C-alpha cells in the first residue's frame, strides 16, 4: 500500500533508504549506531560499550489504511476494465492538507498493476480540461466575464489563429450559444479558449499573472522527493505563439502534476486557502511527540470570496447537470471538473501512431461542507476516452465508500426532547435487563415481582413508549424456551438444567432442537440455531 510514498530500504540496509518517506526522514528513523570494543578481562573477552546506540523515532504518516484500500480497489478495478497503462488516485483532507490515500499504478509486462513510480507527484502531463476552472477563475476575478456571459460556440469548430479549435461534440453540430456556467458543464473547448483569447490576446502576461496569483504554478515543496515543477509558459518565453494562449486556457501547452491540480481544487473547497499537501504528521519517540508537522499555507487567498462562490456553484452544476454526472452521488453533493486530453508523444507531437489519452476528474465532497478532495487521473491508449465515465466513476466509488466509512449520526438531531428511544432487548435474565435499562433512563413496564437475589428469566416486548419485561415460568422438569436470548444466557440457563448445548451460528437464538415445555432429560444434547 502506497509503497512509493511510504518508501523502501535497499536490500543492503547499510545503504539506507531508497525513496519516499523512508528517504525523506531517514535521519530521524534510523537513529545512531553505538560503538563497542572487545576487552580481555580475567581470561574472558567482554564487549565494552563506548558510545551507547540511540534509537530512531517513529514517524506517524497521514495515510489512512482503510481509505488507501478503498482508493486502490476502486482504481485498479477500472484500470483493468479499460486496459489503462497508468492510474493515479489521491485523497486529501480539505482543511489540513493531509494525504489520506495515494495510489500510483502502472501496468507491467505480466498484465498486472504495480507501484513503480510516484506518478501523482512526478508526472509532467498536460492536465486538459481540469485546468479550465483556473482559466475561468482568472477571467471572473479580473471582471472580464460573469457566469452568465454567453459565447456562440457555433457548430463545434472555430478557427483560432489559423488552427481549428474543436468541441468534443463537433460531429453532432456543437453546442451553439451557451453561457459560462454551461461552458464548464459541457467542458466546451471553444467557450473557454474564445473568452480567454478575446480578453487577454493583447496582453497574455495578464492571464499568466492571474494563474500565478492563484498559485497553481508554485512548487509544492513536499515532504518527499521527486515532485515535478509546474510549467506554465509566459509570452516572453520560447515557443509562445498566438495559438499558445487559447490552447493553454484549456490545459494544453502546460504541464502540471496531478497533486498540484488537486491542491488547487482543494483550495476551492477550503474557502480559498491553499494548503501544502502533507504525508507526515509527527515524529514520536518513546510515546512522546518530538516533532510535529503543522498544516502550512501556500496561498492564504486564491481569489475573492465573490469569485470563489461563483466557481463553487459552477463546479456543483458540472456534476449535477453536466458531463461529470458519473462522479456524483445520491447520498451527498459532489463538485468538480472532468478532464480529457490527448497525451503528446514528445517531439512527435499528438500524431505519432496510436493516440494516448489522459482522463481525469478532480473535485471535493460533500459540496456544501467539503471534507475531502480527490483526483483520479488515468492514462489509456486509444478511444473511447471520457473523464466523466472513467475517472468520474472511480471518484464516485471512492467518495461514497469514504463517506460511508466516516459517517457519524448524532442521535440528538434525530429526536426531540419529548421522544423516547425504545431499544430492542434480548430475552434473558430480567434483573440484568432492568439494571441496564434504568441506567440508560429507558422507560420500563415490569410485569413481574422482583425478589432480591432471585434469578428471573424472561423476555421483552418493545411498546411505543416503554420496554415491557415479562418473566418466564419454568418448572424443574421442563426444558425452558431460550428463543430470543443471547448465546451466553441461553447456554447458562440450559446447562444449569443439566443439558448439553451445541451452538450453530452467531447472534440471538432463533430455534432450539428440543422445544420449550418438553420433558427434561438430564444429559441430553440440545442444538441452538442462532442468527
Closest C-alpha among 378, 380, 375 to residue 395: 375
172: left (phi over 0), alpha (psi -120 to 50) or beta: alpha
300-354 pLDDT, tens digit each:
999 999 999 999 999 999 999 999 999 999 999 999 999 998 886 654 455 545 6
Q: What is the pLDDT of residue 1?
A: 60
Q: Are 437 and 448 in contact (CB under 8 A)?
A: no
Residue 209 confidence class, pLDDT cut points 50, 70, 90: very high
pLDDT at 358: 94
pLDDT of 48 reads: 78
Confidence (pLDDT) at 460: 81
Average pLDDT, the chain: 88
Q: 51 pLDDT band (50/70/90 cuts)?
A: confident
Contact (CB, 8 A) for 341 and 126 = yes
H-type alpha helices, 270-341: 305-320
Cβ distance 437 to 425 under 8 Å?
yes
pLDDT number for residue 410 = 42
Task: Please state which architecture CATH assigns to domain 65-406.
Answer: 3-Layer(aba) Sandwich (3.40)
Over residues 57-62, mean pLDDT:
89
Packing angle, helices 258-269 and 132-141, rounded to 10: 40
Confidence of residue 526 (pLDDT cuts 50, 70, 90): very high
Domain boundaries, the chain: 3-61, 65-406, 428-530
Nearest one of 185, 184, 162, 188 to 174, comparing CA atoms: 188
pLDDT digits (tens, 9 = 90+) for 111-163: 999 998 899 999 988 999 999 999 999 999 999 999 999 999 999 999 999 99
- Asked whether residue 72 carries a pLDDT value surpassing 90, the answer given is yes
Res 8 pLDDT > 70: no
Tell me the mean pLDDT in the region 208-235. Answer: 93
Q: What is the pLDDT of residue 125?
A: 86
Q: Which three cell numbers stand for residue 104?
A: 500510483
Residue 55 C-alpha cell reads as 534509537
Reported as a single tens digit per residue, the pLDDT across 184-194 is: 999 999 999 99
Per residue in 86-121, pLDDT (tens digit) is 999 999 999 999 999 999 999 999 999 999 889 999
Q: What is the pLDDT of residues 409-446, one digit of tens each?
A: 444 445 555 556 678 888 888 888 888 888 888 888 87
Percent of the chain with pLDDT over 70: 91
**Domain 65-406 and domain 428-530 have a common topology:** no
Nearest to 322 by CA among 237, 389, 395, 233: 389
Of 233, 333, 269, the closest CA to residue 95 belongs to 269
Q: For 29-48, what is each residue's pLDDT tens digit?
A: 776 777 887 887 788 888 87
pLDDT band at 488 (very low <50, low <70, confident <90, very high): confident
Query: Which residue's entry shows cell 460556440?
Result: 153
3-state secondary structure 445-511: EEECCCCCCCCCEEEEEECCCCEEEEECCCCCCECCCCCCEEHHHHHHHHHHCCCEEEEECCCEEEE
Angstrom distance (rounded) from CA 330 to CA 131:
27
Question: Quick one: average pLDDT of 202-209?
Answer: 96
Within 215-352, residue ranges assigned H as helices are 244-249, 258-269, 305-320
Look at residues 22, 34, 217, 18 and name the one whose alpha carbon lies nearest to residue 131: 217
Q: pTM value?
A: 0.73
Whose grid coordinates read 514517524? 59
The domain defined by 428-530 carries CATH number 3.30.10.20 = yes
Amino acid at each position: 500500500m502506497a509503497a512509493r510514498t511510504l518508501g523502501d530500504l535497499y536490500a543492503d540496509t547499510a545503504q539506507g533508504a531508497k525513496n519516499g518517506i523512508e528517504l525523506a526522514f531517514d535521519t530521524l528513523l534510523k537513529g545512531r549506531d553505538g560503538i563497542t570494543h572487545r576487552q580481555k578481562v580475567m581470561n574472558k573477552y567482554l564487549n565494552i560499550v563506548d558510545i551507547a546506540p540511540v534509537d530512531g523515532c517513529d514517524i506517524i504518516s497521514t495515510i489512512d489504511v482503510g481509505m488507501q484500500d478503498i482508493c486502490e480497489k476502486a482504481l485498479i478495478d477500472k484500470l483493468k476494465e479499460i486496459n489503462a497503462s497508468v492510474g493515479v488516485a489521491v485523497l486529501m483532507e480539505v482543511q489540513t492538507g493531509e494525504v489520506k490515500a495515494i495510489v500510483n499504478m502502472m501496468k507491467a509486462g505480466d498484465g498486472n498493476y504495480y507501484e513503480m513510480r510516484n506518478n501523482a507527484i512526478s508526472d509532467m502531463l498536460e492536465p486538459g480540461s481540469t485546468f479550465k476552472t483556473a482559466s475561468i477563475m482568472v477571467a471572473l476575478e479580473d471582471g472580464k466575464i460573469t457566469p452568465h456571459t454567453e459565447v456562440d460556440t457555433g457548430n463545434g469548430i472555430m478557427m483560432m489563429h489559423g488552427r481549428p479549435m474543436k468541441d468534443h461534440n463537433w460531429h453532432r453540430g456543437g453546442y451553439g450559444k451557451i453561457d459560462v456556467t454551461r461552458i464548464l458543464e459541457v467542458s466546451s473547448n471553444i467557450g473557454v479558449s474564445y473568452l480567454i483569447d478575446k480578453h487577454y490576446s493583447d496582453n497574455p502576461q495578464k492571464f499568466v499573472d492571474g494563474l500565478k496569483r492563484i498559485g497553481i504554478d508554485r512548487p509544492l515543496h513536499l515532504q518527499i522527493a521527486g515532485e515535478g515543477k509546474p510549467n506554465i509558459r509566459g509570452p516572453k518565453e520560447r515557443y509562445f505563439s498566438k495559438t499558445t494562449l487559447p490552447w493553454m486556457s484549456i490545459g494544453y501547452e502546460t504541464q502540471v502534476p496531478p497533486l498540484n491540480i488537486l491542491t488547487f481544487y482543494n483550495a476551492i473547497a477550503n474557502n480559498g486557502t491553499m494548503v501544502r499537501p502533507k504525508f507526515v504528521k509527527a515524529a514520536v519517540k518513546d510515546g512522546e511527540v518530538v516533532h510535529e508537522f503543522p498544516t502550512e499555507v501556500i496561498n492564504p487567498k486564491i481569489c475573492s470570496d465573490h469569485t470563489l462562490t461563483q466557481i463553487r456553484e459552477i463546479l456543483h452544476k458540472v456534476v449535477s447537470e453536466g458531463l461529470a454526472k458519473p462522479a456524483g452521488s445520491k447520498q451527498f453533493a459532489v463538485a468538480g471538473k472532468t478532464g480529457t486530453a490527448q497525451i503528446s508523444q514528445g517531439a512527435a507531437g499528438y500524431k505519432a501512431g496510436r493516440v494516448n489519452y489522459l482522463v481525469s476528474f478532480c473535485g471535493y465532497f460533500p459540496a456544501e461542507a467539503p471534507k475531502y478532495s480527490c483526483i483520479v487521473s488515468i492514462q489509456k491508449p486509444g478511444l473511447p476516452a471520457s473523464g466523466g465515465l472513467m475517472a468520474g466513476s472511480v471518484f464516485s466509488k471512492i467518495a461514497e465508500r469514504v463517506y460511508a466509512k466516516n459517517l457519524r449520526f448524532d442521535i440528538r438531531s434525530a429526536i426531540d426532547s419529548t421522544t423516547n428511544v425504545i431499544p430492542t432487548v434480548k430475552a434473558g435474565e430480567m434483573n440484568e435487563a432492568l439494571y441496564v435499562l434504568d441506567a440508560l433512563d429507558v422507560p420500563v413496564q415490569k410485569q413481574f415481582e422482583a425478589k432480591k437475589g432471585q434469578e428471573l428469566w424472561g423476555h421483552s416486548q418493545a411498546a411505543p413508549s416503554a420496554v415491557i419485561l415479562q418473566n418466564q415460568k419454568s418448572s424443574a422438569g421442563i426444558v425452558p424456551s431460550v428463543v430470543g436470548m443471547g448465546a451466553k444466557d441461553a447456554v447458562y440457563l440450559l446447562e444449569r438444567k443439566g443439558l448439553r448445548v451445541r451452538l450453530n451460528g452467531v447472534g440471538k437464538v432463533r430455534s432450539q432442537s428440543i422445544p420449550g415445555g418438553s420433558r427434561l432429560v438430564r444429559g441430553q444434547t440440545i442444538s441452538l440455531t442462532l442468527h
